[in-house]
Each structure stands twice: as C-alpha cells, then as structure tokens.
Amino acid sequence: MTGAPSPSMPELAMAMGIAGFIFGLFYFAAVQRTAALLAARKNWLGPLALTLGRMAAAAIFLTLAAKLGAASLLGAFLGFLLARAVALRNAGRTG
C-alpha cells in the first residue's frame, strides 16, 4: 500500500513551530481578554471560562505535538514562545 510520503522530521518540526506560533497568538489574545475582563470587575464567570478554556487548549495542543515526537513538541513550544515575545512586545507598545 503506497500512500503519500510522510513529512520528514525537520518539516514536521517546522510545521509544528508555525502551528505553535499561531496557537500562541490566540492564546495570548485570550490572556489579554481575560485581564481586561478581570479589570472591569463585572463578572468572574467569563474570565474563569477563558482561563480554563485556554489552559485545556494548550494542554491538548502540546499533548498532540508530543505524540508526534520530541522534535515536533520542541518546534511547537518554540513557536508558542515566539508568540509570547510578540504579545509582550505589542503589550509594551500599548501599555
């Protein structure tokens, strides 16, 4: 049975790095939204739901990356950290 060739280790790690960066951008946007909701002091249920949701999403994403191998997990985490740096830089410009 011949199918499409599977991606090599560096290609998979790079793809997971890009996926980690995109996931990280959404994750840190949710962190910013959570902070804004907490600062408004209107309701605690919204920030709680956002926090639990983003923690669960991060655990699922990184678990899936780990199942693809160590290089994929490393790529995903490095992409996530790069998104963190971008989010902190953008927060520094607005704050």
Question: For the segment 20-52, what is each residue's pLDDT rounded down to a tens digit?
Answer: 999 999 999 999 999 999 998 888 898 999 999
Whole-model pTM: value is 0.85
Q: Which two tokens stand for residue 92?
A: 């520094």
d(CA 18, CA 22) in angstroms, rounded, equals 6
Per-residue pLDDT at 95: 57
User: Can you tell me which residue has the tokens 């998979």?
Assistant: 12
d(CA 49, CA 20) in angstroms, rounded, equals 22
- Residue 82's CB is within 10 A of a number of other CB atoms, namely 16
Asked if residues 64 and 12 have their Cβ atoms less than 8 Å apart, the reply is: no
User: Can you tell me which residue has the tokens 């678990």?
Assistant: 63
Q: Where are the domains of the chain?
A: 10-94
Q: Which two tokens stand for residue 62?
A: 């990184």
User: Can you tell me which residue has the tokens 């049975």?
Assistant: 1
